[in-house]
Structure 1
Amino acid sequence: MTVERNPSNSAATGTALVTGASSGIGEATVRALRTQGWTVYAVARRAERLERLAEQTGAIALAADVSNQQHVEQLAEQATGVDTLVNCAGGARGADYLAEAQDDDWEFMFQANVMGTMRLTRALLPQLRRVRGTILNVTSTAALASYEGGSGYNAAKAAQRALTQALRLEEVEHGIRVIEVLPGLVATEEFALRRLGSADAAAGVYAGVAEPLTGADVAEVIRYAVSLPHHINLDEIVMRPQAQAANHKLIRAQESGK
């Protein structure tokens, strides 16, 4: 595959499809790739937000729900020339212990994080094989260590991680590079709010943490990973704020004594 170069920084550019592009990490990834000169298809359910993003960045807006097979088939037809797929779409819902688990919450999390990733990846694999492309899946450190009240999200992200690992083994002979980015605590405008349902509860997730990661932080790592020469595969990248040494070890201001 012929790879174009951006003369300003000599980083590789191409044509990417980014899901979850209406907010958070997905939106930030669209902006980061467009700044470097990539052609970007921005995919999410909320058409108005996508159109605004397209006006601001020059991305190509494609409103779709990746958990819907018909939408996925349409995306595969519309998004021509894709050599890089970035699966950012996902999310958490609820913080119930397993004893109180809600079927609807688990169904949402598996559809958004696992089934959506599988369906879109499956649909684009023929194209990605032809160009020896790249697939990057954004999972979570929740896939590495479980915690109380997180069983549904832990299970969904662990499944997405397992999918990613198997995909790397299955597609290496086709020249496809498969990358996993596993963020820890990331402060975005919607993730905790959607999960917990109230602004106060969402604010509590980040309270006292000096510098949680931002969507732009994760997007910069994604941009770097997919822009490297194709023979370099960053199999998995775990990233956390400095204040978070592990999932269970998070320093907050009131804990530090400062």
Structure 2
Amino acid sequence: MKRVILSFLSIFYILRIFSFEFEEEKSPDKSYEGIICVTVSKSGTCLIKVILENLLDKNITGPVSRCSKEQIDKILSNNHFFLLHPVESITYPRVFEYPEVKKILLIRDPRDIIVSLVDFIDRDGTIVWPQLKLADEEWMKLNRKEKIKAILNTTHLIQSFNRIDKILNSCTNTYLCRFESLVDNYTCNIQTILDLATFLEEPITEEIAKNIAISSWGNKKSWTFFRGTKTRWIEDFDEEIIDLFKNNELNKKLIQWGYEKDNNW
């Protein structure tokens, strides 16, 4: 049943592209045309999506895995959003075809991503992380530590972070957002919302940002939102897992993005 539901949702997002009604002209008060939001899986995709929808009062399409250039052109018209995960090999290259488009990139401590992925796969099945190459029954027989090890043996996360790097190095009009900056004591961070508004040339007051923060946190639109907390990895990473992580390519990203100063964590 879970696989049927997920397949239906994928089809729904694609069909939505054709049914969505857009204005024919872009907003005259913006210097850019369209917004692409690229989020690493389990880095707060639904949270930032709801925040941006509340900020701009527009629906956001995605994340989707398959989309033609013509479909994306339609979505980006009049500064509408297109949202994708960098691991999607079909849609990811499209990012570089739109130099004038604003690009919001969302990352998170990869250790917390792994812990969140375990919860996500427990709930929705291994179809959400096919690189595991495990049936649901096989996955559920693993204990939590074994599940973390299984995810560490896949390459989707390091591929996603490498692709975020490439966007930052190759594109202008980019804004790098960290999940840790989005959340603040079980609510959304007001300053980050103000920063996003400035980047998108959407001036708002602090009071409006506060209202957006309140209405976005734990929003029922998010079907993947769990706890929205930072440093959850501490609960699950013992010495063995820490050593495995330090020998994984993800550890370089941990230091590169400033989550740790060096390898002595």
- TM-score range (shorter-chain normalised) is 0.3 to 0.5
Structure holding more helix per residue: 2
Q: TM-score, normalised by structure 1?
A: 0.37
Q: TM-score, normalised by structure 2?
A: 0.36
Where is the strand percentage greater, Structure 1 or Structure 2? 1
For CA contacts below 8 A with separation 6 or more, give which structure has more relative contact order: 2
